Amino acid sequence: MLLAVGPGIVLAAGVIGSGELINTPLQAARFGFVLLWAVLLSCVIKYFLQVEVGRYCLVHNRTVFEALSPFPGPRLRQTSWLVWGFMLGWLLAQVGSSGLVGAMAGLMHGLVPLSSDSIGSARIWAVLVVVAVQLLLWRGLYGRLEKMMIGLALLLSVSALVGLVMLQGTPFSVSGADLWSGLGFSLGDTEVRLAAFAVISLIGALGVSGAELVVYPYWVLEKGYGRHLGPRDSKGWVERARGWIRMLKVDAGLATLLATAVTAAYFILGAAILFPLGMTPAGIGVVDQISSIFTESYGPWSKSIFLVSAMATLLSTLLAATAVNGRIITDFLCSLGLVDRGRPQAVRKSQQVVQTAFLASVLSLYLLIPARPALMVLVSHYIIGVAGTPLATIAICWLAFRTERPLRMSRPVAVLLLASAGVIIGCVVFGLAVQAGLIR
Which of the given ranges, 4-13, 130-139, 174-183, 283-292, has the highest pLDDT on average? Answer: 174-183
Of residues 18, 20, 26, 110, the one with CA closest to residue 279: 26
Query: Is residue 199 scored above 70 in pLDDT?
Result: yes
- Of 27-31, 293-297, 319-323, give the lowest mean pLDDT range: 293-297
Cα separation of 138 and 318, whole Å?
A: 15
Cα separation of 424 and 50, whole Å?
A: 13
Query: Is residue 313 scored above 80 in pLDDT?
Result: no
pLDDT average, residue stretch 78-95:
89
pLDDT the model gives residue 210: 66
What band does 128 get if pLDDT is binned at 50, 70 and 90?
very high
- Enumerate the β-bridge partners of residue 80: 75
SS3 readout for 77-117: CCEEHHHHHHHHHHHHHCHHHHHHHHHHHHHHHHHCCCCCC
Instruction: List, for residues 259-289, the tens digit of each pLDDT value.
Output: 788 888 888 888 888 888 887 776 666 677 7
pLDDT the model gives residue 17: 62
Contact between 373 and 106 (Cβ < 8 Å): yes
Instruction: List, for residues 361-390, the tens digit of each pLDDT value.
Output: 999 988 888 767 778 888 888 888 888 888
pLDDT the model gives residue 357: 93
Residue 410 DSSP symbol: P
SS3 (DSSP) at 1: coil
Domains of the chain: 7-435 (1.20.1740)
pLDDT average, residue stretch 6-23:
60
What band does 19 get if pLDDT is binned at 50, 70 and 90?
low
pLDDT average, residue stretch 321-328:
84
pTM for the structure as a whole: 0.85
pLDDT the model gives residue 312: 73
Instruction: List, for residues 340-363, the tens digit of each pLDDT value.
Output: 888 888 988 998 899 999 999 999
Q: State the Cα torsion 419-421-423-425 to the nearest 10°.
A: -150
Which of the given ranges, 106-110, 213-217, 432-436, has the highest pLDDT on average? Answer: 432-436
- Of 4-18, 101-115, 136-150, 367-381, give the lowest mean pLDDT range: 4-18
- Estimate the share of the chain in helix, then strand, then coil, as percent rounded to the nearest 5: 75, 0, 20
Query: Is residue 299 scored above 80 in pLDDT?
Result: no
Query: Is residue 84 scored above 90 in pLDDT?
Result: yes
Query: Is residue 11 scored above 60 in pLDDT?
Result: no
Cα separation of 313 and 151, whole Å?
A: 9
Query: Is residue 10 scored above 70 in pLDDT?
Result: no
Cα separation of 60 and 400, whole Å?
A: 12
Contact between 281 and 374 (Cβ < 8 Å): yes
What band does 56 get if pLDDT is binned at 50, 70 and 90?
confident
Cα separation of 109 and 436, whole Å?
A: 39
Average pLDDT, the chain: 81
Q: Which residue has the higher pLDDT, 193 or 440?
A: 193
Instruction: List, for residues 31-46, the tens digit of each pLDDT value.
Output: 889 999 988 888 888 8
Cα separation of 212 and 220, whole Å?
A: 12
